[in-house]
Amino acid sequence: MIGILRSLTQVVRVIGRKPVTIQYPEVHREIPNRDRAFPILLWDAPIDEPYCTGCHACERACPVECMTVVMKDNPKHATGESKRRKIIDEFWIDYGRCMRCNICVEVCNFEAIGMNNTWAGHELSRYDRKELVMDLDMLMSQSKAGKVDPGLRA
């Protein structure tokens, strides 16, 4: 009997505490700088081109093989605007396959790929799985607009 009363007093004591929950869709929790959502490509703003040279390092290191990389000659290299001989032509990442292990970021030699640390990297629900395969424009759009600064780099 005493034990039951103790339990009840405990319950009454807890009622006074402040709630720890937040109303999610209206209120977004602040996410830490190191947060690892899905990988995105980064934009080299001064030269106005992506950092990525399409060297296939991330593609080879990916445990789940969710990436496809196609490289091309950099037209800006011929004109002398850029030091990069090769540049990314096509890049697909299947977000439905990616397991967010951060290995692509670690193996990248050019700091060209980073893990999205904004809410845009989390709220990605789609009606069709095909829509989760991101192409080059989608992967770069956020960094191009300056909306993201990944906390973890290679």
Partner 1 sequence: MVTEQHDRSLEVVDIPINMGPQHPSTHGVFRMVLVLDGEVCKDVIPHIGYMHRGGEKLMEAMDFRQGIGYCDRTEYLAQFSAELGYVMAVERLMELEIPDRAEYIRVILTELNRLSSHFMFMGAFGIDAGVFATSFTYAFPQREYIQELFEEVTGDRLMYAYFRVGGLAWEVTDNFVQRVHEVLVHTRQGLRDLDELLTKNEIFMVRCQGIGAFTADQAIAYGLSGPMLRASGVPWDLRKDDPYSVYDRFTFEIPVGNHGDVYDRYLVRLEEMRQSVNIIEQALEQLPAEGPIVAEKLPRRLRTPPGEVYSKVEAPRGEWGVYLVSKGGDKPYRLKMRSPSFCNLSALREMCIGQFMADAVMILGSMDIVLCDVDR
Closest distance of CB 127 from partner 1, Å:
25
Residue whose CB is less far from partner 1, 66 or 87: 66
- 92 is written with which tokens? 């697909």
Closest distance of CB 7 from partner 1, Å:
5
Residue whose CB is less far from partner 1, 100 or 144: 100
Ordered DSSP codes for the chain: -HHHHHHHHHHHHHHTSPP----TTTSPPP--TT---SEEE-EETTTTEES-----HHHHH-TT--EEEEEEE-HHHHHTS-S-SEEEEEEEEETTT----SHHHHH-SSS-EEE--SGGGT----SSGGGGEE-HHHHHHHHHTT----S---
Closest distance of CB 32 from partner 1, Å:
4
Closest distance of CB 3 from partner 1, Å:
4
Residue whose CB is less far from partner 1, 133 or 154: 154
Residue whose CB is less far from partner 1, 37 or 69: 37
Closest distance of CB 101 from partner 1, Å:
4
Q: Which residues bind partner 1 (CB under 8 A)?
A: 1-4, 6-7, 9-11, 14, 20, 31-32, 34-36, 61, 63, 99-103, 106, 115, 117, 151-152
Residue whose CB is less far from partner 1, 9 or 149: 9
